Amino acid sequence: MVIRFWGVRGSIPVPGRATNRYGGNTSCVEVRPKGEPPIIIDAGTGIRKLGKLLLEESFGDGRGKASILISHTHWDHVQGLPFFSPLYRAGNEVHVFARERDVHLEAVFSQQHDAPYFPVPLSAMHATMQFHGVSEGASFDIGRAKVTSARLNHPSVAIAYRVDADGASVVYCSDTAPFSDMILAHEFVERPPSGILPLALLEELAEMRAGVVALAKNADLLIYDTQFTPEEYKKQPHWGHSRPDDAIEIAMAAGAKRLCLYHHAPMRSDDANDAILAGTRAAAQAAGARFEVMSAYEGLEVTVGDA
């Protein structure tokens, strides 16, 4: 199974010289089980270039099949979808998986294509599109790959995915706050909470953390939201993102074999990302971690298991 990174940035795309090495596109990762169609996780702006490349495969003559797993529908995870070229070819089949909610998923994705915002309605896409609701914790198969999910701690709720294929596993865990200070769900939180969390919420957080640790158990590659530095987290714990130390802690608890820092803050320069990677490697070593630490950049390719 090969994993390729097409967009590694959080919040908003950031073109410019300061992001040339890590890349400025928003979240998109391609997972390729051996000999199988692509399983794409998230559809940030990175999916545009992936789509163009897919046209050189069977998608070019309308015989392609792809699955897209959406962690959540915040803009930086869906804004590339209208620019995904395979959707404009008849015959292609695209399955979109996202967290089930009280509105039909197709209606949610249609909104992005509404006339005030985009010239081409979702209904005019030539490819066959199917939308699949995923309940938190659900498991399902895509071809030979087994997909499992777990709930994350993020405004409006995000879900993590694990893909098992070719005797190996990759876990995509973005976007999430640590499972310690507050629970983020559907209410708008204007400022960080003060005071001590009620016991019931602490128990709910512990349960959420246990679900994520179980999902990442012995993962060959754990991709984890590390948007914040500790100082940034202190100011914005209610934004729903983690620090490198949170990723190390979960990776150790799960016995993950490799940890990949992901969902870089938009204003984080390449040099700052280098420094965070070096600091995280040192912290992981000091903590006695036995896994390798890497930081996601556009074009990074990781092979796990058979390829």
Partner 1 sequence: MKVRFWGVRGSIPAPGPETNRYGGNTSCVSITTATGGLVIIDMGTGLMHLGATLMASAFGKGAGRAAILLSHTHWDHIQGLGFFPPVFVPGNEITLWGPGGSDHVLEGILEGQMDPNFSPLQTLKNFSASFEIRAVQVGVPFEVQGLTVTARLHPHGGTSALAFRLEEAGRVFVYASDVGYADGVPDAESIAFYRGADVLLHDTTYKPEDQATRRNRGFSAYDEACAAARAAGVGRLVTFHYDQDYTDDDVDGIVASCRALLAGTAIEVVPAREGDELAI
Among 45, 67, 149, 295, binds partner 1 (CB under 8 A): 45
- Contacts of residue 13, defined as CB under 8 A and 6 or more positions apart, other chains included, come to 7, 24, 25, 26, 44, 45, 76, 266
Check binding of 15 to partner 1 (CB under 8 A): yes
**The two three-digit tokens of residue 232, written as one number:** 């940034």
Among 60, 91, 192, 266, binds partner 1 (CB under 8 A): 266
Check binding of 19 to partner 1 (CB under 8 A): yes
CB of 181 to partner 1, least distance (A): 17
Check binding of 11 to partner 1 (CB under 8 A): yes
Q: Is the separation of the CB atoms in 306 and 34 below 8 Å?
A: yes
CB of 76 to partner 1, least distance (A): 10
Check binding of 78 to partner 1 (CB under 8 A): yes
Check binding of 273 to partner 1 (CB under 8 A): no
**The two three-digit tokens of residue 78, written as one number:** 């869906």
Give how far Cα 88 sits from Cα of 95, 129, 130, 160, Å: 14, 11, 15, 28
Check binding of 191 to partner 1 (CB under 8 A): no
Interface ranges with partner 1 (CB under 8 A): 11-17, 19-20, 23-25, 45, 48, 73-75, 78-80, 82-83, 101, 103, 108, 111-112, 114-119, 155-156, 186, 188, 190, 239-240, 266-267
